Amino acid sequence: MHTKTVKTASPSSCGRRVGSPPRASTTAAGLIAAGVLATALSTGSVAAQETIKIGVSQPLTGAFAASGNYVAQGARIAEDEINAAGGVLGKKIQLVIEDNKSNPTEAVATVEKLIVRDKVPVIMGAWSSTLTLAVMPKMQEYKVPLVVETSSSGKITTAGNPYVFRISPTSEMEAMSFRPLVAKLGIKKADFLNTNNDFGIGSATEFAKMLKAEGVQVGVLETMDPKANDFSAQLTRIKASGGDTLFVTTAVEQNTLILKQAKELQLKARIVTTGGSNSPDQLVTQAGDAANGSYHTVFFPPWFPEVVKNPDAAKRYMAEWKKRGHEPGGLTEGFRGYDGIFTAVEAIKVAGKAEPAAIKDALWKVKVPGVYGDIAFIKQGPAGSESGQNQPTVYLVKIDGGKVVKPEF
């Protein structure tokens, strides 16, 4: 799947998008413009027949905009790499990227639009667990498979939706891979601070379960609104609880603020952020010395790409990311989009045709040497309507002296 030669297609050859239908206008200029637009639309659809469309729903604006844009940038890299190598089934692929505005209602509208209007046979999305859970019933309704690239809530693959194929790890997998580190870090009592949504609650539940099984005392479980920026109340309570380790689950913006505010309140506990959307590089830049001594679970460690299962894929992705001038802090997020598109395209190749039902069946057979590791799906959820779940590796990194390092035990 991943070919050795990497040529970048010119940006204009990709990302052609069909605009919204022309609005009625009373001015002559408006009519002319509408005419031109109509012509553009018809040529657009001619070109579209020669490509295979893949839908993408990501939060490009709103609370998760930073991460959603990284995933979209990673997806674009995969698109160009695949097209430079000749596309799939003799056709070029074309991503149709829609903005779900970090909003579950909008997310449902984006997949409906992608399926009904753009007629995409497969969709990648929708970043946060809440957004993904919102679009899942639509995928089942229209019988179109969904490649889930980021979300970690257990509910996604246990809901009995056979159209869901997740390449990112579940919170439970993350907690399990953390298990051997509990003793190494000497954790005796743990407190939790998580964002109040499917992602945060799911992660805290799984980690607490795992820690209890390891004989660790669980102190307070604090939550925060996904938009909140002041956590003094929660951190004061956590300080009073007196655990030696604080597990934090949220996106990078809140992680930054929590590190800073924990320092202001002189919280002594070691901070571990989970979920993999923590962009440690961004934490180093933005939280400064408050980030020192903190640990982070990531699903791709760009600081030492040689440790991953498929270093070639990782290095190709990293080189192109750098060449395009994308934010280095986004490397730990963008690979999800890169792998997601490769997975969808491999399924199209195995299926031999770009049709939803065939792609869904083919997803069970794919084996993709991705940045996430060797992507393949195992069955999860109620028998008869299982969802596909990949089993990626989880890495723990530490920030020390303003640098991201491998933790030493």
Instruction: Give contact residues for other proteins (rule: CB under 8 A).
Output: 60-63, 65-66, 68-69, 196, 222-225, 227-230, 232-234, 236-237, 239-240, 252-253, 256-257, 263-266, 282, 285-290, 327, 329-330
Helix (H) or strand (E) holding 155: helix 155-158
Q: CA–CA separation, 309 vs 335, rounded Å? A: 14
Q: CA–CA separation, 379 vs 363, rounded Å? A: 11
Helix axes 65-84, 252-264, angle to 10 degrees: 140
Closer CB to other proteins, residue 280 or residue 330?
330
Closer CB to other proteins, residue 246 or residue 287?
287
Contact between 54 and 94 under an 8 Å Cβ cutoff? The reply is: yes
Min CB(233)–other proteins separation in Å: 4
Closer CB to other proteins, residue 280 or residue 329?
329
Residue of 348, 345, 366 whose CA lies nearest to 357: 348
| β-strands 164-166, 146-148 pairing | parallel
Min CB(236)–other proteins separation in Å: 5
Closer CB to other proteins, residue 140 or residue 196?
196
Closer CB to other proteins, residue 60 or residue 318?
60
Q: CA–CA separation, 74 vs 176, rounded Å? A: 28
Closer CB to other proteins, residue 239 or residue 406?
239
Q: Vertex 121, ends 118 and 127: CA angle to 5°?
A: 85
Q: CA–CA separation, 292 vs 108, rounded Å? A: 40
Contact between 111 and 123 under an 8 Å Cβ cutoff? The reply is: yes
* Strand blocks (E) in 132-175: 146-148, 164-166
Q: CA–CA separation, 370 vs 368, rounded Å? A: 6
Closer CB to other proteins, residue 152 or residue 254?
254
Residue of 2, 103, 96 whose CA lies nearest to 54: 96
Min CB(246)–other proteins separation in Å: 13
Q: Vertex 218, ends 217 and 219: CA angle to 5°?
A: 115
Closer CB to other proteins, residue 286 or residue 310?
286
Closer CB to other proteins, residue 82 or residue 258?
258
Min CB(229)–other proteins separation in Å: 4
Min CB(278)–other proteins separation in Å: 13
Min CB(240)–other proteins separation in Å: 5
Closer CB to other proteins, residue 50 or residue 289?
289
Residue of 20, 182, 195, 199 whose CA lies nearest to 98: 20
End-to-end Cα, the chain, rounded Å: 37
Q: Is the peptide bond before 126 cis (omega within 30 degrees of 0)?
A: yes
Min CB(376)–other proteins separation in Å: 33
Q: CA–CA separation, 409 vs 404, rounded Å? A: 16
In DSSP terms, 166 is beta-bridged to 148, 389
Min CB(268)–other proteins separation in Å: 12
Residue position matching structure tokens 């390891």: 214
Min CB(101)–other proteins separation in Å: 10
Min CB(99)–other proteins separation in Å: 11
Closer CB to other proteins, residue 215 or residue 242?
242
Q: CA–CA separation, 268 vs 42, rounded Å? A: 63
Contact between 345 and 365 under an 8 Å Cβ cutoff? The reply is: no
Min CB(288)–other proteins separation in Å: 7
